[in-house]
Structure 1
Amino acid sequence: MSKIPYSLSYFGEKEIAAVNDLLANPSHLTSETYTKLCRDFLKNYYQREMLVTHSCTAALEMSALLLNIQPGDEVILPSFTFVSTANAFALFGARLVFVDIQKDTLNMDPLALEAAITPKTKAIVVMHYAAVACDMAAICAIADAKGIPIVEDAAQCIGAQFNGKYLGTFGKLGTLSFHHTKNITAGLGGALIINDEALIDRAKVICQKGTNRDAFIEGLVDKYTWQDLGSSYVMNEFGAAVLLGQLERMDVINKNRQTIWQQFHEGLVDIEKWGYSRPSVPKGSLHNAHIYYLIAPTEQEGTQLRQFLASQGITAPHHYIPLHLSPAGKKFGKPVESLPVCESIYKRIVRLPLWEGFTGIEAVIGAIYKAQSTSASLVV
C-alpha cells in the first residue's frame, strides 16, 4: 500500500454506535429508521424533497425514468465525466451527445452545449467537476429558452454552492454521491434532489421498485402494490446508519478539507513557473474541497510527475478518460470528430491526496517541487 493514499474515509463514534444500534434492533430494517433520518436531514439542509438511494448511479437512473427518456432521445452531457452520468440515460435508449469542457473549470462549455441542441434533445446533464459550479447562469438560460430540463450530476458536491444556492438545486433534478471516495460517505450511497414538486410522488414510487411502499411505511395505505416502472433504488439501512453521523458532521468535514485545499493552493503557487495550472474557482462558487489537482503543461510532464510521486509513496492519479473516446461512448454516443479541451486535459491532470485530517501536505508539495528539479532523470 502507498505511504500516502489518494483518499481515506473517517468514521467516528456516532457511526459505530448507529451500526451497533441497528444490529441490536433489527426492526429498524423494516421501518427504515436511519434512511428516514438521513432523508429528513438532507431535506432540511437543502430545503428540497430528497430520496436517499443506494448510489448516485441509482439517482441518475431515476432521473432518466422521471424524464421519460425514450429510445432515440438525445441527452447532452460533458465527455469529461464518470461513466454513470452516461450509463443512466443510455440504459433507456438515449443517444448521448458529448460536448467539450471549459479550460478553467473543466466543466461543460455553454457554447458547446448550445451548438449541440437539436429538436431531439430531451435533457441536459451537467456535472460540477471538483464541486466547482458549472456556468449555471448561462446553462440555465440556454435550457430555459429551449424548454429542456436540466439534471445536475452533483456527485462531488455535498454542501457546495453557487451564488448562495446549493449545487443540485438549479435543475429539475440533482444527484449526490456518498461513495467511499466522497467527502461524506456511507461506503456506497447517493441521493436524488427533487426540485420539481410535480415529480415527487412518482419518484417515491420509482425508488421503491415501482410500488407505493413509501406511502405504506408512512401509514398512508394499509398495503402496497405495483404502481409504475421502478427498481430497488433505496439505500440499505446499514449504509444509512453510517451516513447519518457523517451528515451531522458535514459542515465540519467540508471546512477541514477546505483548509487543506487552501494550503495546497498557496503552497503550489510557484508551480506555475513551470507551466502548470492550479484549479480555477469562479466568483460566486463555494466548493467543498473535494479535489485538488494540477494540470501539467504536457502529457509527458503529467506522466512524469505522477510516476515521481508514486516513487515517493504518494498516490496522485489522473482522472476520467473522455467518454467519447471509449468503446461504449462510440457505440451509444452521437459521432463526434474531436473535443480538444477534454482530450488534452485528461492526459495532463494530476490529482493530489486530500481527506479530512490529512497531514502530509508539506511532503506532497515538497515532492512536487523536487520532481521539477529531477525531471530529466525520470523514466516515461
Structure 2
Amino acid sequence: MEQTDPKINIPFNRPFIIGNELEYIQDAVLSGIISGNGKYTKKCQEFMEKYLPSPHMLLTTSCTDALEMSALICNIQPGDEVILPSFTYVSTANSFALRGAHLVFVEIREDTLNLDERLIEAKITKKTSAIVPVHYAGVACEMDMIMDMAAFYGLTVIEDAAQALAAKYKGRNLGTIGDFGTFSFHETKNIICGEGGAISINNQKYRATADIVWEKGTNKREFSQGDVDKYEWLKLGSSFLPSDILAAFLYAQLENIEKIINRRQQIFERYHRALLPLERKGLLKVPSVPPECEISYHLFYLMLNDSQTRNALLHYLQSQGIMAIFHYIPLHSSPYGSRYGFKRDQLPITVRISERILRLPFYYELSEQDQDLIIDTIETFFINY
C-alpha cells in the first residue's frame, strides 16, 4: 500500500522544511553554479568535517554511491570476499557485488540487529578484503572488536552509517571509526535532501585516491585548486558529485541538526515509554540500546513474537489509516541471493527478525496527537487480538 493511499491518515514518513532550504536553493541557482562541488557542496563537507569530526568528507548523490566509491577506492577485485550482514538494504551488497566480490553473510545479534562480531572471525579467509558493519537504526556495532580483528588480518572496514549520522560508539561518531564511513540523506533519513549521501575518508592513505574517484577518475580537484595545470584520467571513477541544489537544501538541514535530533529523541522516547508496558506483558519487544551507544533516533520498531502477529498488527494499523511497514527481506534468501549461492548459510536469527519486525511512523513533524493515536491503536489491537 502506498503512502498516497487516501485511506492513510498518518504516513510512515513525511519530508519537511526546517530552515533556509528554499532560500539557499535560490541562492545556489543565482550564483550561476548548480553542478557538483559548488558553494553549498563545500559548506556541507566543511560542516560535517567539523561536526563529526571527519578528516575528509565528500558529498555523493546517495549512500549507495558512497559505498560504491569505497569499493573502488580500496580496489575490491573479482573473487575478493566481503563480510556483511544479510539484514541490510541491497545497496550494501550491490556496491561490492558490482566489483565482482563474493558476499559472505554473517548472522546478526538479536538485541541490536547488528552484525554479530563474535561470528566474524570464523568467516575470514585468505580472500577476505573487507568488513562492512551496518549500524542498524543508528545503534553501533561493536566497533572495538571489529577494528581489532581487521587490524590483525589486514582488512578494510567500511561503515554503513546510512542510519547513524550523529550516533556514537563510546563517544566516537559512527562513520569515523572504520577506514571509510558512508551516510545517507535520503528523504526517509533524519537529515534529508531527497537523494544524497556522503563518504568520510578516515584512513589518510586513501585520501588522494578518493578525490580522484569522486571526480570521475580524474585529478580535476587538484586542477580546480591550482595544484596542476591540466586534469587527466588517472583511475576508474564515476560521477558521484550531487548537484549544488541538493547540497543547498542539505546545508539548511545540517544547520538544524541538533534541533532535528532532539525532536526525534522526543518521538522515540514517547514511543518507548508508552509501549514498554506491552513488552513487560510479553506481547512484544521495543528497541534495545547498549550503554556504550548514543543513538541517532532514526527509527522505532516493534519486535513481535511471531510473523502472524506482526502481519496482523501491520494490517490492523493500515486499516486504521496508519502506515507501518516491515523492513528488509534477508539478502541471502532473496531471489538474486538464492540464485547466486548466497543461501549456503541459513542465518536463522536474520530470518526470524525479518519476519517479526514492524516499523512505526517516524518523522520530524509527527505530532503528539498522531503519535498517541498510533500508540492507542496498538494497545487496542492487543486487547482484541
Q: Shorter-chain TM-score category?
A: over 0.9
Partner of 1:38: 44
151, 168, 171: which one aligns with 1:161: 168
1:9 is aligned, of 6, 11, 15, to 15
Deviation by residue 1:104-136 (Cα, 9 ceiling, x = unmatched):
000001122122111111100010000000111
| Paired residue type of 1:39 | Q
Seen in structure 2, the aligned counterparts of structure 1 residues 76 and 333 have a Cα distance that, compared at 3 Å, is farther
Pick one of 325, 348, 351 that aligns with 2:356: 348
Q: Which amino acid aligns with 2:311?
A: T
Query: Match of 1:372?
Result: 382
Where in structure 2 are the equivalents of 1:168-317 lying within 5 Å?
168-272=175-279, 273-317=281-325
Gaps of 5+ in 2: none
Alpha carbons 1:162, 1:284 under 8 Å: kept: yes
CA separation of 1:132 and 1:333: change in aligned 2, threshold 3 A: farther
Structure 1 match to 2:25: 19
Deviation at 1:28, TM superposition (A): 5.0
Equivalent of 1:144 in 132, 145, 151: 151
Tell me the residue number matched to 1:363: 373
The correspondence for 1:122, drawn from 121, 124, 129, is 129
What's the offset of the Cα at 1:288?
Answer: 1.2
The question of whether the paired residues in 2 share the 8 Å contact of 1:77 and 1:97 is answered with: yes
* Structure 1 residues 53 and 30: CA distance shift in structure 2, 3 A: closer
Whether the 8 Å CA contact 1:96–1:332 is kept in 2: the answer is: no
Task: Give the TM-score of the pair, scaled to structure 2.
Answer: 0.95
Partners of 1:369 and 1:136 lie apart in 2 by 37
SS in 2 for 1:344: helix
Q: Secondary structure at the match of 1:310?
A: helix
Q: Which amino acid in structure 2 is aligned with residue 52 of structure 1?
A: L
Deviations 1:8-51 (A, max 9, x none): 12113410001111222223547611111111111111222101
Letter in 1 for 2:244: E
Q: Is the 8 A contact 1:31 1:217 kept in 2?
A: no
> Following the alignment from structure 2 to structure 1, what is the Cα–Cα distance between the partners of residues 325 and 83?
27
CA shift for structure 1 position 331: 4.1
Q: Distance in 1 between matches of 2:142 and 2:223?
A: 41
Q: Distance in 2 between matches of 1:283 and 1:244?
A: 31
Q: Could you list the per-position Cα deviations for residues 55-90 of structure 1 after superposition, in whole angstroms to 9, with x for gaps in the alignment?
A: 100010111111111111000100000000000000
Equivalent pair of 1:15/1:242 in contact (CA under 8 Å): yes
Asked if 1:324 is matched to 2:329, the reply is no
Does the CA-based 8 Å contact 1:294-1:351 persist in structure 2? yes
Mapped contact 1:96–1:333 kept (Cα < 8 A): no
Q: Please list the CA deviations of residues 129-172 of structure 1 after superposition, one character each: whole Å capped at 9, or x if unmatched.
A: 00000111222222222221111000011111111100011111
Tell whether the 8 Å contact from 1:173 to 1:192 is kept in structure 2 after alignment: yes
CA offset at residue 373 of structure 1?
1.6
Matched residue SS, 1:123:
strand
Residues 1:132 and 2:142 are matched in the alignment: no
RMSD: 1.3
Q: Distance in 2 between matches of 1:249 and 1:40?
A: 15
Tell me the CA shift for residue 221 of structure 1.
Answer: 2.8
- Work out the CA distance in 1 between the residues paired with 2:76 and 2:107: 23
Residues 76-95 of structure 1 aligned to structure 2 (within 5 Å)? 76-95=83-102
Q: Per-residue displacement from partner, 1:181-218 (whole Å, max 9, x unpaired)?
A: 00001100000011101111110110110011112222
Higher mean Cα deviation, 40-49 or 140-149? Answer: 140-149
For 1:369, give the aligned amino acid: E
Q: CA deviation at 1:334?
A: 4.2
Whether 2:70 is the aligned partner of 1:63: answer yes
Give identity over the alignment, percent.
45
Tell me the SS of whatever aligns to 1:62.
helix
Q: Distance in 1 between matches of 2:66 and 2:339?
A: 23
Q: 1:333: Cα distance to partner?
A: 5.3
* 8 Å contact from structure 2 (residues 76, 129) kept in 1: yes
2-side partners of 1:365 and 1:335: how far apart? 37
Name structure 1 gaps, 5 residues minimum.
Answer: 376-380
Task: Give the direction of change, closer, same or farther, for the CA distance of 1:155–1:31 in structure 2 (3 Å limit).
Answer: closer
Contact 2:36 2:242 in 1 (8 A): no
Q: Could you tell me how far 1:226 is from its partner in structure 2?
A: 1.1
Write out per-residue CA displacement over residues 235-289 of structure 1, whole angstroms, 9 at most, x where no aligned residue: 1111101000011111110111011100100010111114311100001111111
Matched position secondary structure for 2:105: strand
Per the TM alignment, residue 357 of structure 1 is displaced from its structure 2 partner at its CA by: 2.6
